[in-house]
Chains A and B, each alone.
Chain A
Amino acid sequence: MPDPGRTTPTRQAGDEMFDHARAAVQGALDAGATYADARVVIRRHESLQAQNGALEAVRNDVEAGVGVRALIGSSWGFAASSELTDKAAKAAGAEATATAKASDRVPGSGLHLADVPAAEDRYTTPFHEDPFTVPLDDKVEVVVSATRTMHEVEGVLVATAQLMFWDTDKWFVSSQGHRIHQRIVETGCGMDATAVGEQETQRRSYPQSFGHVETGGYEVIRRFDLPGNAQATAEEAVQLLSADQCPSGALDVILESSQLALQIHESVGHAIELDRILGWEAAFAGTSFLELEQLGRLRYGSELMNITADATIPGALSTFGYDDEGTPAQCVDIVKEGTWVGVLSGRDSAHLAGLPPGGMVRADGFNRIPMVRMTNVGLTPGESSMEEIVAETKHGVVMATNRSWSIDDKRLNFQFGCEIGWEVRDGKRVRMVKNPTYTGITPRFWGSMDMLAGGDEWFPWGVPNCGKGQPMQVGHTGHPAAPARFRDVRVGVKA
């Protein structure tokens, strides 16, 4: 097992990769960039998917190349090449600068970078069991046996399971003297069973929708034990077909932690991205209801609401040593006792806003420009428990596992659907309900949170499919959460 934290990686050809990155930076500077940085990235991704007891796909993908960013005036220029030679890297650097220069036709105010110490360092995410050395037979058996068990449950038509692994090496060099190597190992899994009725389908997933991913090794797969949870997952999918519809009206909503994680992602995580607040993502992802002058004053939620963006949580999906600008990973307060106090930022946006750089800029591979991305944005735990929350609820619905999600371009008006719900009356779960949905307005919703479970039920969920940017980038984000109750929420929206 590699030592956790900062280690000396024994990756071959590391110096050569630093050379390519340095050549790219030099190419950009020679062409006139005022600042440049470059990342050589080699990312290996393995995935397995099984369906109904048969293996459906095994993939091994390798992406390797250099991406270089050049700053001139008000614009970043970025160029990427999959050809890993000094010559190609230097040419990419020159192209990045030329591209930035072309932006001068439609200029804005000059961009500047907040100060960050130039680090020379190495970092590896902690893991116990390298997932790429685990025999393929073992992995196949996990997904085949889990889906076979689910498919054997009467009423389940489709059962799928996935394992996914990433091993990413990044060599980062900047014109200010950064020289950082990181190795990030990520492991995840998920499965779902779909029962099909006359005019509907019902699905149950485990451990959450889209699969759950952590920084770590194959121990993550062993811990979540897909085969051992397959039977119960499938049985709930079938039971949902005959369950009653979720009631409609203004009710208390109790969210289990993975659904609350997505609620945080959509209504907090994206809203606090400084590039959105500054309008840089307006055309596609949108802006934010937050305005910088409200920082430190705006009431985001109830006093139980404490949110941090923490890139140092062991095992969480967005844990790393440095972001893709060379800023060290850190923990930043975002909401403190209900008041909005922090943002997600990079060096350029932080300088513009007069804030310290948060180390939250990352890119999806060598061929994408780094941009503000969520780290582990989540709730600090409260003092209650799911059992206590249910016991103290007169009429409400417990909702679990996301099924659909939608939110407006300012991150205010949201609607979520969950896979399963349980109606609660007088402190007891009285019946399973299907198609539970709830809708609300962000600050009003968070302001209604009056019970929050404690550390025993707090879990740093990983979301591996966050889309942002043009060209589109898929980000891996973490969201610690614990079950919580929200009062008088509009439930059961119908078509």
Chain B
Amino acid sequence: MTTSMMTAARSLDDLQTLADRVVELVRAHPGPGTGHPGPGPAPDHLGAGTASDSTEVADTDSQPTPDTAPDTPSPGDSTEVEANVRVSRSRHGLTRFANSFIHQHVGEDTVSVALTVAVGGRTASASTTRIADEELAELVDTTITSAALQPVDPHWPGATPPADTTFAGNHDDATVAATPDERAAGVEAFVSAGPELRAAGYLDTEASWVAFASTAGQRVAGSTTRATIDGIHQTDTSAGSAHQTSVRVAELDAPAAGALAADRARRSASFLDIEPGAYPVVLGPEAVATILTFLAVYGFNAKSYLEGGSFAELGTQQFDAAITVWQDPTDPRAIGLPFDGEGTPRERFPLIEAGVTRTLAHDRRTAKRAGATSNGSAVPGAEAFGAVPTNVVMSGGDTPASELIAGIDRGLLITQFHYVRVLEPKTVTSTGLTRNGTFLIEDGEVTGAVGNLRFTQGFVAALAAGQVRGLGDDQRYADGEFGAGMVIAPSLALHSWNFTGGAKG
């Protein structure tokens, strides 16, 4: 490929060629420069995986893995150069509106190359958006040189070995081709639902193409698309929200989203302030998505588990029997690639089955430490953070969401949480607020709106055995504050949620 072809890389084939090219450059590299100290024996203080690392994992997650296979070189015993290469292109358009008009309208098209190399088990990573031949050669050279200067990385699992993906990923050409005019039309429909209200939010379309190659022979490529409309309507005293996400932009129903947000805003315009305390709640999918995101990040992250920071006790009934949660990138609705940040094929696996904690999210590093197998949960560039499930699906119930309030004498219907942060990671005790529609339930009916409330609540305790009243039949993609397209969740009714403050403090 010529320099001009490189800088204009656009198709998936282009990206795969680029990934292969970087692997070729690594293989052809003569090794760390003579001006730099070469890799010697591992320093004594580093060790290679402590005994305690491998004894903390429950049996349910332990299987023989390619990481421990005899033909895999052990870190530190050679000067072999290994590499994982990930080339990605992101095309993103976002139409943002506020005060009922479009005020920011943005688009980007970016290609980047991410490289991790290991020189005799010494690792370094780098990324760049500069992809001309000479720039890639420099990337390879400086990364290899940098790696050779490091101590041995005790958790380096080796370059990703060959393995086929089992599904293609969900991709929609019409979403790729969506124009600013099409997005603006969706915004117009959302805004039009509340002519007397003030609307704000965004409609965006995103396409990602990624190719991966490793010196161990893995070679995979895939793409995915996402479209989201997320917005609020506001009165002078209230706001109501709506959210929709799909692989396909044509599936967004902007008029319906606008109508729902407007209805919530109008119904909240007059509200009561109620006393803080413990109330039964019906949580909308957005609020449930926030809880699941926190459980995923703090609890099902195998690195947190290995470091003693997770609540997870594998094989133990830690949640109500009504709770079943999967990591499922194979779902036909799923937004995600068929492989993870390390090029490992992704798969469906249970996180919670009928209340029993089942599986941790592993990347290849944590899998090596645990004596387990990576289940394709590596987040690109986040090796120090750990592995996180990113296609989380909570099973829904049979109850129409509107009927979950039945039987609640006095409780609250929560549309959305806002600014949730963890106070204590191991119990996932967190604080945050309600937002965009908080309603009072009395004698099984919604009787009015209430002002936003602050809560302080342990998320594991909130979903514990006996705490779930019911699950709604409205399972869908919900935005859990940290981004669209991560969690599919239904409405959820709980016996108790601890509110610790109101608008007045």
Contact = CB atoms under 8 A, between A and B. Distances in A.
B232 A55 contact: no
Nearest to A42: B130
Interface stretch (B63-71, B356-364, B424-432, B464-472): B424-432
Interface stretch (A27-35, A77-85, A308-316, A423-431): A77-85
A108 B94 CA distance: 18
A479 to B, nearest CB: 18
Nearest to A442: B505
A106 B230 contact: no
B494 interface: no
Contacts of A136: 146, 149-150
Contacts of A403: 423
A64 B130 contact: yes
B109 A280 contact: no
Nearest to B47: A54
B198 A282 contact: yes
Interface stretch (B324-332, B346-354, B454-462): B454-462
B418 A439 contact: no
A409 B435 contact: yes
Given A55-B150, A77-B105, A108-B100, A413 B128 contact: no
A51 B123 CA distance: 15
B95 interface: yes
A406 B505 contact: no
Contacts of A58: 123-125, 146-147, 150
Contacts of B503: 408, 412-413
Given A99-B180, A282-B232, A55 B153 contact: yes
A495 B151 contact: no
Contact of A75 (B104, B126, B431): B104
B130 A407 contact: no
Q: Which has the most chain A C-beta neighbours within 10 Å: B98, B105, B143? A: B105
B127 A61 contact: yes
Interface stretch (A123-131, A196-204, A252-260): A196-204
Interface stretch (B76-84, B164-172, B183-191, B216-224): B183-191
Contact of A199 (B202, B419, B427): B427
A77 B498 CA distance: 44
B201 interface: yes
B231 A283 contact: yes
A106 B187 contact: yes
Contact of B505 (A77, A100, A490): A490
Interface string B95-106: 111111111111
Interface in B13-38: none
Contacts of A62: 126-130
A102 B105 contact: yes
A415 B185 contact: no
B505 A444 contact: yes
B92 interface: yes
B98 A409 contact: no
A417 B430 CA distance: 10
Contact of B107 (A80, A148, A405): A80
A117 interface: no
B452 A406 contact: no
Contact of B126 (A60, A82, A148, A196): A60
Interface string A92-105: 00011011101101
Interface residues of B, number: 101
Contacts of B111: 82-83
Contact of B456 (A51, A279, A493): A493
Contacts of A437: 423, 431
Interface in B170-204: 179-181, 183-185, 187-188, 191, 198, 200-202, 204
Interface residues of A, number: 87
A53 interface: yes
Contact of B124 (A60, A368, A412, A439): A60
Contacts of A157: 307-308
Given A57-B383, A415-B454, A408 B104 contact: no
B188 A57 contact: no
B11 to A, nearest CB: 15
Contacts of B241: 283
A239 interface: no
Contacts of B130: 62, 64, 82, 84
A148 B505 CA distance: 43
Contacts of B93: 99
B398 interface: no
B252 interface: no
B163 to A, nearest CB: 24
A107 B230 CA distance: 19
B142 interface: yes
A447 B466 CA distance: 45
A75 B431 CA distance: 36
B199 to A, nearest CB: 8
B314 interface: no
Q: Which has the most chain A C-beta neighbours within 10 Å: B97, B106, B241, B503? A: B106
A279 B99 contact: yes
Contact of A65 (B110, B230, B421, B423): B110
B381 interface: yes
Contacts of B155: 54, 56
B431 A404 contact: yes
Contacts of B12: none
A77 B419 CA distance: 29
A470 interface: yes
Given A103-B184, A435-B424, A54 B151 contact: yes
Q: Which has the most chain B C-beta neighbours within 10 Å: A55, A200, A407, A495? A: A495
Contacts of A493: 431, 456, 500-501
A106 B424 contact: no
B74 interface: no
A439 to B, nearest CB: 6
B137 interface: no
Contacts of B231: 283
B100 A367 contact: no
B191 to A, nearest CB: 6
Nearest to A58: B124
Q: Which has the most chain B C-beta neighbours within 10 Å: A58, A78, A111? A: A58
Contact of B129 (A76, A82, A144, A199): A82
A49 B303 CA distance: 15
Nearest to B498: A495
A158 interface: yes
Interface in A419-472: 435, 437, 439-441, 444, 470-472
Given A95-B107, A99-B106, A440-B505, A280 B99 contact: yes
A231 interface: no
A51 to B, nearest CB: 7
Interface of B: 7-8, 45-47, 92-112, 123-131, 142-143, 146-147, 149-151, 153-155, 179-181, 183-185, 187-188, 191, 198, 200-202, 204, 230-232, 234, 239, 241, 307-309, 381, 383-384, 418-427, 429-433, 435, 452, 454, 456-458, 461, 483, 498, 500-505
Interface of A: 49, 51, 53-65, 67, 74-85, 95-96, 98-100, 102-103, 105-108, 111, 136-137, 140, 144, 148, 157-158, 160, 194, 196, 199-201, 278-283, 286, 367-369, 403-409, 412-413, 415, 417, 435, 437, 439-441, 444, 470-472, 490, 493-495
Report the 8 A-B pairs with minimum CB-CB distance, sorted nearest first.
Answer: A108-B101, A102-B180, A103-B102, A196-B308, A283-B200, A82-B129, A80-B108, A282-B200
Given A144-B45, A415-B456, 4 more contacts: A59-B124, A59-B126, A144-B151, A283-B241
9 contacts: A60-B127, A78-B104, A102-B184, A196-B309, A280-B98, A283-B202, A408-B503, A413-B452, A471-B106
